[in-house]
Amino acid sequence: MRLSAAARPRHRRRTRTLTLATAVAVAAGGAGLWLGVSQDAARAATTVVVSDTAALQSAVASATAGTTIQVRGGTYYPTSTLKSTANGTAANRITLTAYGSEQVRIDGSRLPAGSWLMAIYGDHWTVQNVRFQKSPAHGFVATSSVGGVFKNLVTSDNGDSGFTLRGDGTTGNLIQNLDSYGNYDAAAHGQNADGLAIKFGSGTGNRVTGVRLFNNADDGIDLWQWASPVTIEHTWAFGNGRNRWNDPAFEGNGNGFKLGGGGATAAHAVNNNAAWDNTQHGFTENGNTAALGLSRNTSYANRQSGFFFETGTARLAANLAVANGGGLAKLGPATVSARNNWDSGVATPPFRSTDASSVYGARKADGSLPATAFLTTGSTTIGSTMD
């Protein structure tokens, strides 16, 4: 049984930065390495600096509340899933991060078939400034996580979804400034590999912001069988669902924002996002009959509808749809639609630019989306602000 944050013991923070040799020994339970500080007290605020794969795997497996794992620049090739069942606390988080501004790639190309690259089964983790790539299956998975912060990550070219939240009791997690692209599940011919999957579970307070989800085999974001509201904002989904892998039996879907499915109903909040150049809909309820709220989103040049909400009770306001192959919006009788550009009397402001090249640019210094004129209009009342 997990203790509540209030019931868990707190420790006075004392930090020890460990060399590589010390880190490996500590992970193995070595004695006499705490320099006069009790193991319990030191582990409450221990910084472990690692620079090879064995040390990284040991440090993740043995992390406890208060551990910070700093990974030196380079590419790491684990031979088994980086896995932890440890819980941090609100006061003593577990952190995995790049060392300073160094570039870290964790590469799954040497994992056994079907393996996930990283799997967290614990609370109050911070994972940031790391790329997870080339896994034979999922890139990064957090299961039943409470209070996770997942920031400035890249999940690319994995054999299933790039980033996944799953499980009941998944509450209060932040996914910020993620880039997830090129993910493709060959075994299922592309039908499961999303950029971001929040699937098969429940939990409130989960937020997605500043994310780019592009060129994935299946959908940009997929909320299949997720039973609690998720907030999605300032996120772009584009180029999903194309057969970039020359798969003759390709089955990728290609929605930008798939906001339900599998019988789960939840009133997700979807504000100030954009979807373009996807092979299905820009935004779709996918059978979610709850009162989804969509405001100031832009859907452009998707192969099917800009907004597809035919069966539910969604509320759509101040959204903008242009040049979608299946029409601007397909709405059912229970959908509430107001101040969108398909509504009577609402003008469609012109785009400043339809050249998407800038959206692939480097992120700003704080990790936020790159500056772009693409799909901007200058309007203060309708459509995404693209920032």
Domain shared by 39 and 131, yes or no: yes
Assigned domain for 2 exists: no
Asked if residue 71 and residue 184 are part of one domain, the reply reads no
Q: Which of 92, 110, 137 is the last residue of a domain?
A: 137
Domain match, 243 and 106 both: no
Same domain, 69 and 201: no
Residue located via tokens 């319990």: 40
Average pLDDT over residues 360-387: 97
Q: How many domains does the chain have?
A: 2
List residues with catalytic annotation.
Answer: 258
- CA–CA gap between residue 230 and residue 203 (Å, rounded): 9
pLDDT tens, 15-35?
334 433 333 333 333 322 222
Strand duo 315-317 + 336-338: pairing:
parallel
Q: Are residues 120 and 143 in the same domain?
A: no
Q: What is the pLDDT of residues 218-246, one digit of tens each?
A: 999 999 999 999 999 999 999 999 999 99
From 86, 105, 137, the end of a domain falls on 137
Residues 58, 155: one domain? Answer: no
* 196 shares a domain with 303: yes
- Which whole number is the average pLDDT over 46-58? 97
Cα–Cα distance for residue pair 84/140, rounded to 1 Å: 12
Pair of tokens at residue 321: 């749809």
**Whether the predicted pLDDT of 322 surpasses 50:** yes
User: Do 131 and 143 share a structural domain?
Assistant: no
Residue 1 placed within a domain? no
* 284 — pLDDT class (breaks 50, 70, 90): very high
- What is the span of the domain harbouring residue 368? 138-387
Q: Give the whole-angstrom CA distance, residue 43 versus residue 60.
A: 13
> Do residues 275 and 356 both lie within one domain?
yes
Q: Looking at the structure, do residues 142 and 123 belong to the same domain, yes or no?
A: no
Angstrom distance (rounded) from CA 141 to CA 275: 24
What whole-number distance in Å separates Cα of residue 58 and Cα of residue 52? 10
pLDDT, position 213: 99
- What pLDDT band is residue 125 in, cutting at 50, 70 and 90? very high
Whole-number Å distance between alpha carbons of 150 and 154 = 10
CATH number of 378's domain = 2.160.20.10
Q: What is the pTM for the complete model shown?
A: 0.90
Among 11-25, 102-116, 155-169, 170-184, name the one with the lowest average pLDDT.
11-25
In a domain, 102, yes or no: yes
Last residue of some domain: 74, 105, 137?
A: 137
Q: What integer best gives the mean pLDDT of the chain?
A: 91
- Looking at the fold, whether 202 and 185 belong to one and the same domain comes out as yes
In this structure, which amino acid lies at residue 252? Answer: G
- The helix/strand/coil state of 58 is helix
State how far the Cα of 335 lies from the Cα of 30, in Å rounded to an integer: 62
The pLDDT of residue 380 is: 96
Does 262 fall in a domain? yes
* Res 45: pLDDT: 79
Q: Per residue, what are the HEC states of 132-161?
A: EECCCCCCEEEECCECCEEECCEEECCCCC
